[in-house]
Amino acid sequence: MKIKTQSFLLLSGIIIIPVVLMASYWVMFHQRQEMTYEVPSYNEIFQEHQELTSEEDWERIRNFIAHRQPNMEVAVFDRATMEVLYSTIEQFRRGMKIDEQNLLKYSMDNSERYFFQMTTPPHLKNSTLVTFIRSEKVQRQFRPRMEHYVNTVTIISIIILLFCIVIITMITRSIAKSVTVLEDAAKRVTRGELDKPIEVRGSNEVISLTKSLNELRLAVKENRDKQARFIMGISHDLKTPLALIRGYVEALYDEIPASPEERKQYAEIILKKADDLEGLINDLIDFIKVDTGEWRTTWQDVNLKSFVEEIAKRGSEATTILKHTFKAEIDLPKDAVVQIDEKLMTRCFENLFSNAIRYSKEGGTVVLRAFQGSGCYKIQIEDDGIGIGKEELKNIFELFYRGTGSRREMGHGLGLAIVKSIIKSHNWEIGAESETGKGTVFTITIPA
């Protein structure tokens, strides 16, 4: 149960308690009040004896009878004839006559159970009516009813209080248990123990927090592994030229090359390897720069069609120099605008062109396509080169990864990793399709 639902139930219980109590006390209060009874009208009783009283006087008596106490019963007599005109007392039926002696005897016989009162109602003008009132000494019906309501209210209150205690206990235990597990998990992540998943059972909001913490754990683990691969790759790629430089320097120091031509050759090799180191270091700096997002301050609005046409021009120049055929198929809206770092994105496409040319045979064809798709723009760079195997295709954007076909070429495995970092940092997408011996197509998807 979600903490939100549990809190709602608890709040409902807190509200229900006073509502139930107030409703119960309202009922008990009204049980103590006067009850309203149906009393016949003047015409119903005095149709044939209108001389006994006026309609106005009967309304006064009628109002008194209608609002009597629940334990009170009333009989109305004609004073002259002692005829019962109206009665709520079972023993005195309407129309019967009773003399004062019998009435006194009845009162005495029932004096232990009832109070009796015979009186003329006040404020009567020209009336010969008297009222005989009987009321119970012990309210036998009222007290049990009161006790019933008190007991009911007590039971309901206890049930609701127990309900609130259960809900509060559930919420407290759920939060305490989840927080303890999350605290232990956070400590494990801090210590670098990232392999064990974080597990919290239940269905409350803590599960969502657990999911986020697990995603954080996996991200930290991935970054740690990435960092380890990064360091291993750098170590390997730096170690190779450094070893060569060291070897040739030691040879020169030991005066192994005898002729000036050999010494010059050794020096040229040392310079070439130093250039390779400088290039690798520059690539690493660019990768870190893109990965940390420091370059985003240089974003600007650029017309996409003009940008792609400029990229096509650069691609045409590069392929012509290296004796390749270049084709451009550009079909983009004239008003399409994207926000990019133009210099960095240009380098990204130059890298893709460089790969397309490098892994194609002399005289091969490189094609640039740019068109509008459904809710996006697409740019494709296609070559008819050696292609990439299915097993290798999924890894080509990994840092320092070099496929089987690329190992015969110079490189450090940073090019496509940098390309993907640049593309992703612009919230674009890049993918690749390839078949061994038939070439490769890189597709960049740009949100419209």
Same-domain status, 47 and 131 = yes
Same-domain status, 401 and 344 = yes
**Residue 433: band (very low, low, confident or very high) from pLDDT cuts 50, 70, 90:** very high
> d(Cα 193, Cα 187) in Å, to the nearest integer?
9
Same-domain status, 302 and 433 = yes
Same-domain status, 300 and 399 = yes
Q: Which helix (H) or strand (E) holds 309?
A: helix 304-321
**215 within some domain:** yes
**358 within some domain:** yes
Same-domain status, 309 and 436 = yes
**179 within some domain:** no
Other Cβ atoms less than 10 A from the Cβ of 332: the count is: 20
What's the pTM value of the predicted model, to 2 decimals? 0.47
The larger pLDDT score, comparing residue 185 to residue 134, is at 134
**Residue 318: band (very low, low, confident or very high) from pLDDT cuts 50, 70, 90:** confident
The larger pLDDT score, comparing residue 415 to residue 375, is at 375
> d(Cα 46, Cα 382) in Å, to the nearest integer?
115
What does the pLDDT read at residue 4?
Answer: 62
Count the domains in the chain. Answer: 3
3-state helix, strand, coil in the chain (%, to 5): 55, 15, 30
- Residue 242 DSSP label: H
Q: Is the pLDDT of residue 254 over 90?
A: no
DSSP tally for the chain: helices H, then strands E:
11, 11
pLDDT tens, 211-225? 777 787 788 777 777
**Residue 398: band (very low, low, confident or very high) from pLDDT cuts 50, 70, 90:** confident
Q: How is the beta sheet containing 376-383 ordered, strand by strand?
A: 325-331, 365-372, 376-383, 439-447, 429-435
The larger pLDDT score, comparing residue 169 to residue 410, is at 169
Same-domain status, 285 and 349 = no
Q: Is the pLDDT of residue 335 over 70?
A: yes
**311 within some domain:** yes
- CATH number of the domain that residue 113 is part of: 3.30.450
**What is the residue range of 386's domain?**
296-447
**% the chain with pLDDT above 70:** 77
Residue whose pair of structure tokens reads 């015979």 in the numeric block? 118
Same-domain status, 78 and 219 = no
Residue 276 tokens read as 């390779």
**Residue 141: band (very low, low, confident or very high) from pLDDT cuts 50, 70, 90:** very low
**Residue 378: band (very low, low, confident or very high) from pLDDT cuts 50, 70, 90:** very high
What does the pLDDT read at residue 308?
Answer: 94
Last residue of a domain, one of 139, 155, 183: 139
What does the pLDDT read at residue 182?
Answer: 74
What does the pLDDT read at residue 200?
Answer: 61
> d(Cα 414, Cα 348) in Å, to the nearest integer?
12
pLDDT tens, 39-75? 888 888 777 777 778 888 888 888 888 777 777 889 9
- Calculate mean pLDDT across residues 318-340: 89
Same-domain status, 233 and 341 = no
What does the pLDDT read at residue 408?
Answer: 44
Per-residue CA distances from 384 to 96, 251, 367, 396 (Å): 125, 44, 9, 18
> d(Cα 70, Cα 266) in Å, to the nearest integer?
124
> d(Cα 74, Cα 136) in Å, to the nearest integer?
12
Contacts of 115 (CB under 8 A, 6+ apart): 134, 135, 136, 137
Q: Which helix (H) or strand (E) holds 330?
A: strand 325-331
What does the pLDDT read at residue 229?
Answer: 65
> d(Cα 152, Cα 169) in Å, to the nearest integer?
26
**249 within some domain:** yes
What does the pLDDT read at residue 432?
Answer: 93
The larger pLDDT score, comparing residue 2 to residue 8, is at 8
Average pLDDT score, the chain: 78
Same-domain status, 286 and 332 = no
Q: Is the pLDDT of residue 1 over 90?
A: no
**Residue 440: band (very low, low, confident or very high) from pLDDT cuts 50, 70, 90:** very high
Across 239-243, 247-251, 288-292, 325-329, least confident range: 288-292
List 235's β-bridge partners, or say none: none
Same-domain status, 233 and 99 = no
Same-domain status, 346 and 380 = yes
Same-domain status, 348 and 421 = yes
Quote the Cα angle for 182-185-186, to 5°.
Answer: 85
- What letters, b where the CB count within 10 A reaches 16 and e where it falls short, cover 223-257? eeeeeeebeebbeebbeebeeebeebeeeeeeeeb
- CATH number of the domain that residue 240 is part of: 1.10.287.130
